[in-house]
Amino acid sequence: MINTEKQSGATSTITSPADREIHIERVFDAPRDRVWRAFTERDQIAQWWGRGNKLVVERMEVERGGHWRFVEHSADGVHGFEGRYREVTPPETLVYTFEWDGMPGHVAVDTTIFEDLGDGRTKVVSTSIFHTTEERDGMLYSGMEQGLNQSYAALDELLAKQE
Amino acid sequence: MINTEKQSGATSTITSPADREIHIERVFDAPRDRVWRAFTERDQIAQWWGRGNKLVVERMEVERGGHWRFVEHSADGVHGFEGRYREVTPPETLVYTFEWDGMPGHVAVDTTIFEDLGDGRTKVVSTSIFHTTEERDGMLYSGMEQGLNQSYAALDELLAKQE
């Protein structure tokens, strides 16, 4: 595991510790409550999740059993993503399903933990579990890492702006 | 594996061959095209899926990427179920996700194969895959077998009526 604790707003650590999982760690230079809001409020997520592309938040019911659906308008087309919240425990834990319209019925479960580093920074630890290794690998080789780093860079900017 | 081929409209064979799977086989006394319709047409499924209870088919878009949502009104309350079609290949293969409102974000993938037995009967083979063994066991011990047998008995009746 690469130590990202001394970095801020730099790189995500992406590993695949089990054959159906992806594990991601990233430190943000903002307090935990602030980062939690960026992940759970509609007008906040619209500003970073789409990596600079227009993002339409069609549905975002942040409670157990609630649905979400985001549509990203990028240069290569329109991409819908959706899922359902399994657990919402502010400001610590968010568990939801994740599905891309391009691979309908292929569903990952994402668990995101927000860890207060005690110095005004927050570590975000995400684990995705897939039904099969093939689905996990499909996600890993889909350009996920680049997309994620772009989203998280946009989130860095949002957090810096609004402190 | 119990041989169900000589039975008709009797018992489902339920096995759990892998630690995240449930495998179900059942023979119906009707041609494959007829059974396919019973699984894929809104007014048909409303007559058997709810096991005699009122079933409201809120959404049923039988095509790749389409959504479904059924609400069953039973003596113990109102239960919603939903998912999305991954593959629709008439009259042979139906793959869709399955989620019960009571356990939101816990998603199984169901693959149903319709096998023409060549004598006017159809074998329906369903495989469910879960993200974890715990979720699989939760389904197995939820009264699934009884519910399934009630649904399939209602389907037997529907198929007999309309031949």
pLDDT the model gives residue A10: 67
Q: Cα–chain-centroid distance for residue B49?
A: 8
Chain B residues within an 8 Å CB radius of A105: 65, 83-87, 95-97, 109
> How many Cβ atoms are within 10 Å of A8's Cβ, its own excluded?
15
Look up the CATH superfamily of B3-131.
START domain (3.30.530.20)
pTM of this structure: 0.90
Give A27: exposed, middle or buried? Use CB within 10 Å, 0-12, 13-18, 19+. buried
Please name the member of B65, B84, B104 whose beta carbon is closest to the beta carbon of A64.
B104
pLDDT the model gives residue B18: 85
Confidence of residue A142 (pLDDT cuts 50, 70, 90): confident
Chain A residues within an 8 Å CB radius of B95: 105
Q: Cα–chain-centroid distance for residue B97?
A: 11
Chain B residues within an 8 Å CB radius of A95: 105
Domain spans in chain B, listed from the N-terminal domain onward:
3-131, 133-163
Q: Nearest chain B Cα to A104, which residue?
A: B65
pLDDT, mean over chain B? 92
Beta-carbon separation of B104 and A85 below 8 A: yes
